[in-house]
C-alpha cells in the first residue's frame, strides 16, 4: 500500500506543459473569441454547478463551451489524474482492454499516457464512451497526436450501452456519476445500487474498477455506497481503503465526515493557473473522492458487504482483504490507516500558550475513523493520502469529542 498524490516527476510536468501548445494547434481560438475564453470558462463553471438544473443535455456540443472545456476543465482533470494514477497498482498487458465510461475528451487515456509512459508501447484497446460526439472527436484528435501502440475506439452512447468485445482489464468512470445523482431524482445510494452491477459486468473477473468524483459530501456518500455494492459482488477495495471492513465514512447524516482528499496545485502548469485567475476561479488546491476496486480474493464469500468475511486464513492487517471488527486491537497487531484531513489545532488557546502545539488529522482504518494526535512537526509531515501503520497499543481508549473517533498518539 503506497502513499497517494506523489509529486509529479519532471517528464510528466513537461508533458503537462506541452498539452497547451497542442491544444492551441488542434483547436485554435480565433482572435475575436480569445478574449472571451475566461468568460466562457466562468459560464461553463456555472452550468456545471449552480445552474445545473437549467443546463442543456448537449451543452458540450456548443462551440464556446466545448472550447472552454478543452482549454480549462480537461487540463485540470488531467492534472488531478496525473497526481493519482502513478500511486495505484494498475497493471496492463498486451491485448488488454480499458473501458472508459463518460470519457469526454478522452481525459483518462490522455492522463494515463502522460503519467504511465511505461504503457505507451504496450498494445492496448481503449473503448471510450460518451453521449456527445463532438467531445469524443476532440479527444481522439488529441490522442492521435500522442504516439503510442494504443487502439482508440470511441462510442457515442450513455451508461448501460452495450460495449462489444471481451471484458475489460480496467473499467473507469471519471467525473461521471455526479451527473446522475444531481440531474435525476435518484440520490447517490440509488445511483450506486443501479450502476455497481453494470461496472462489475464490464470488467474481467481479474479486472479493476476505478471511479473518481469531485471531493464533495455527496460524492463521498456515493463512493461509500459503491464500495459496499462492489464488495457484495466480490470486488474488494484496493485504494484508498486500507481494509474491506464496513466504511466508517458513509456520509449519510448532515455534518458527517466524508472520504475525500485535497492536495496543492503548485505543480499545475502556469498557463492553467493564469486562465483560472482570469476566469475568477483560482485553484490553490484540488480535491477528489475515488475508489479502486479489485478482483475477488481467494476464499471471499459474496454477500458480506460491511463485514468482508474471508474464508480460511485472514489477510494481514492493512491489506485490501483485512477484515474489520469492533473489538480492540491486540498488542503487537499493526493498525493501518490512510490520512484524510488537513491538520487542525487541538486544545484551547490557553493550552497553546503553555505547551507545544498539538495538531490533529483524521484518518481511516479498519477500526473506523481515527484521530491522529501529535506535535505540529509530526502531524504536518504527513501528506494527504499518506499510508502508515502503528502498533495496536498506540490506539487510545480515549475518543475525540467532536467525531467520536478513537485517538492515535503520534509523538
| 163-219 confidence digits (pLDDT tens) | 999 999 999 999 999 988 876 677 899 999 999 999 999 999 999 999 999 999 999
Q: Whole-angstrom distance between the N-terminal and C-terminal Cα of the chain? A: 23
Q: What is the Cα–Cα distance from 238 to 335, expressed in whole angstroms? A: 16
Cell numbers placing 275 = 486562465
As a three-state string, the secondary structure of 211-236 is EEECCCHHHHHHHHHHHHHHHHCCCE
Would you mind telling me the total number of residues written for the chain in this entry? 411
Angstrom distance (rounded) from CA 406 to CA 367? 8
Q: What is the pLDDT of residue 55?
A: 61
**Model pLDDT for residues 303-315, shown as the tens digit of each residue:** 443 333 322 222 3
DSSP track, 26-67: HSPPPHHHHTTHHHHHHHHHHHHTTTGGG--TTGGGSHHHHH
Determine the pLDDT at residue 299: 53
Residue 264's DSSP bridge partners are: 285
Q: Please list the ranges in the chain whose pLDDT falls under 50.
A: 302-331, 349-354
3-state secondary structure 319-361: CCCCCCCCCCCCCCCEEEEEECCCCEECCCHHHHHHCCCEEEE
For residue 182, the surrounding DSSP H or E stretch is helix 178-183
Distance CA 52, CA 56 (A): 9
The per-residue pLDDT for 318 is 34
Would you say 112 and 139 are in contact if contact means Cβ atoms under 8 Å apart? no
Which of the 8 DSSP states describes residue 95?
A: T
Whole-angstrom distance, CA of residue 273 vs CA of residue 147: 27
Distance CA 216, CA 288 (A): 8
Amino acid at each position: 500500500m503506497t502513499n497517494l498524490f506523489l509529486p509529479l516527476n519532471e517528464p510528466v510536468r513537461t508533458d503537462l506543459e506541452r498539452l497547451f501548445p497542442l491544444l492551441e494547434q488542434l483547436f485554435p481560438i480565433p482572435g475575436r473569441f480569445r478574449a472571451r475564453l475566461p468568460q466562457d470558462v466562468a459560464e461553463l463553471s456555472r452550468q456545471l454547478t449552480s445552474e445545473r438544473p437549467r443546463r442543456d443535455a448537449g451543452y458540450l456540443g456548443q462551440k464556446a463551451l466545448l472550447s472552454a472545456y478543452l482549454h480549462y476543465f480537461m487540463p485540470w482533470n488531467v492534472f488531478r489524474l496525473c497526481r493519482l494514477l502513478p500511486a495505484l497498482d494498475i497493471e496492463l498487458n498486451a491485448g488488454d482492454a480499458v473501458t472508459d465510461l463518460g470519457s469526454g475528451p478522452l481525459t483518462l487515456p490522455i492522463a494515463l499516457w502522460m503519467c504511465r509512459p511505461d504503457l505507451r508501447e504496450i498494445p492496448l484497446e481503449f473503448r471510450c464512451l460518451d453521449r456527445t460526439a463532438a467531445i469524443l472527436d476532440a479527444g481522439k484528435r488529441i490522442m492521435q497526436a500522442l504516439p503510442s501502440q494504443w487502439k482508440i475506439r470511441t462510442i457515442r452512447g450513455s451508461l448501460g450501452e452495450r460495449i462489444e468485445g471481451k471484458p475489460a482489464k480496467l473499467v473507469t468512470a471519471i467525473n461521471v456519476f455526479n451527473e446522475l445523482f444531481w440531474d435525476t431524482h435518484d440520490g447517490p445510494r440509488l445511483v450506486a445500487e443501479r450502476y455497481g452491477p453494470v461496472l462489475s459486468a464490464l470488467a474481467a473477473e481479474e479486472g479493476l474498477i476505478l471511479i473518481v468524483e469531485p471531493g464533495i459530501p455527496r460524492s463521498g456518500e456515493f463512493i461509500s455506497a459503491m464500495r459496499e455494492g462492489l464488495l457484495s459482488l466480490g470486488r474488494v477495495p484496493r485504494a484508498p481503503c486500507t481494509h474491506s471492513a464496513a466504511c466508517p465514512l458513509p456520509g449519510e447524516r448532515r455534518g458527517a465526515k466524508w472520504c475525500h482528499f485535497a492536495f496543492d496545485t503548485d505543480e499545475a502548469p502556469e498557463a492553467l493557473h493564469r486562465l483560472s485567475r482570469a476566469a475568477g476561479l483560482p485553484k490553490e488546491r484540488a480535491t477528489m473522492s475515488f475508489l479502486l476496486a479489485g478482483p475477488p480474493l481467494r476464499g471471499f464469500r459474496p454477500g458480506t458487504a460491511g463485514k468482508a468475511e474471508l474464508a480460511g486464513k485472514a489477510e494481514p492487517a492493512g491489506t485490501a482483504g483485512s477484515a474489520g471488527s469492533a473489538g480492540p486491537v491486540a498488542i503487537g497487531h499493526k493498525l493501518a490507516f490512510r490520512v484524510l484531513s488537513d491538520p487542525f489545532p487541538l486544545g484551547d488557546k490557553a493550552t497553546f500558550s503553555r505547551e507545544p502545539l498539538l495538531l490533529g488529522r483524521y484518518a481511516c482504518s479498519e477500526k473506523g475513523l481515527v484521530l491522529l494526535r501529535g506535535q505540529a512537526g509530526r502531524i504536518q509531515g504527513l501528506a494527504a493520502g499518506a499510508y502508515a501503520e502503528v502498533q495496536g497499543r498506540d490506539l487510545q481508549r480515549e475518543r475525540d469529542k467532536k467525531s467520536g473517533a478513537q485517538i492515535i498518539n503520534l509523538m
